[in-house]
Amino acid sequence: MRRSSRHADRSLGAALLSLLYPSACPVCNNPSDTLRHAPLCRVCWESITKYEGPSCARCAAPLVSEYAAECGECLQRPPPFTGVLNFGLYAGALSEAIHLLKFSGVRRLARPLGAFLTELTPPAAAGIVPVPVSGRTLRERGFNQTLLLSRVLSRAAGVPVMMDLLIKKRETPPQIGLNARERAANLRDSFAVRGKLHKQRLVLLDDVMTTGATVRECAKTLIKAGAGEVTVVTLARSPLT
C-alpha cells in the first residue's frame, strides 16, 4: 500500500514535471526527471565532477603534465590574483548547465550550480565580489549569473557579497576569436571600483574562466583601488586547446 502510494506520488511528480518542463535533457535527450536541475536529467547531472587532474598552481589551468607547477602564461605574465580555486572543466553537462543559466535564462540552475562552489575552500575573506556585467547585458539578460552564484557561496561560507563594489563601465565586444593579448586589450579599463578598499582580502567569483583575461582585469582593478589580495573562485575552467 505504502509502496504503491509512493509510486503514485512519483508518477504524479513526473506528470507535473513534464507539464512544467516538457523538454528533454539537452545532453542525452532523455526526458527531464527532476525539478532540481531540469532540464538536465539526473544521470547527466551526476556526471558533473570536480576536476582533480594536474593544473597550474596559480591560475588552475588544466595542464598536460603533472610535473609543471605553473602554466606558460602565468610564468610569462604573473597574474594580479593570488590563486584560482576552480570546480570543474568547461565541458559536457557542466558547460551545458552554465550555458542554460547564462544564455537561456534558466535561473533556477544557479542554486545547484552554486552548490558545486561550496565544495571549494576559499580563504577567509572580507567579501565575495561577483564579476559584473555591463548595464546593457544586465537589461537584456535580466540578471547577473555570477551574482546568483555568489549568493549561494555567501550563504554557505558566511561571507557577504559585495554586490556593487565592482562595476563594468562599458559594454565590450565578445572575447570569442581573440588571442590572450587582444582579450586583455579589449577589456582594459572597462571595470571600476565604487568606493575605497583598505587592504581587504577578497574572493572574486566568475562562472567560466577561459584565458583569464576577465579575472586578471577585475583583480587588477580591485588591487589598484586598495584591495590587499584577490583569490578567484570559478565554476568551470576551459580545457587547454
Residue numbers at the binding site for Zn ion (CB under 5 A): 25, 27-28, 41, 44, 56, 58-59, 61, 71, 74
The smaller minimum CB distance to Zn ion, of residues 168 and 237, is found at: 237
Q: Which pairs with CB-CB distance under 8 Å and at least 24 residues apart come from 141-149? A: 141/102, 141/105, 142/105, 143/107, 145/98, 145/101, 145/102, 145/110, 145/207, 146/205, 146/206, 146/207, 148/101, 148/107, 148/110, 148/114, 149/110, 149/113, 149/114, 149/117, 149/205, 149/207, 149/235
The smaller minimum CB distance to Zn ion, of residues 68 and 167, is found at: 68
Measured from the CB of residue 61, what is the shortest distance to Zn ion in angstroms? 5
Measured from the CB of residue 76, what is the shortest distance to Zn ion in angstroms? 10
Q: Pairing between strand 191-193 and 166-168?
A: antiparallel
The smaller minimum CB distance to Zn ion, of residues 59 and 109, is found at: 59
Helical H segments across 50-202, by residue range? 72-76, 92-103, 110-117, 135-141, 145-157, 180-187
C-alpha cell at 216: 586578471
The smaller minimum CB distance to Zn ion, of residues 15 and 69, is found at: 69
The smaller minimum CB distance to Zn ion, of residues 37 and 168, is found at: 37
The smaller minimum CB distance to Zn ion, of residues 155 and 181, is found at: 181
Measured from the CB of residue 48, what is the shortest distance to Zn ion in angstroms? 11
Measured from the CB of residue 230, what is the shortest distance to Zn ion in angstroms? 15
Measured from the CB of residue 68, what is the shortest distance to Zn ion in angstroms? 9
Half-sphere exposure in the Cβ direction for 62 (13 Å, CA) = 18
- Say which DSSP state 84 is in: E
C-alpha cell at 107: 535561473
Measured from the CB of residue 41, what is the shortest distance to Zn ion in angstroms? 3
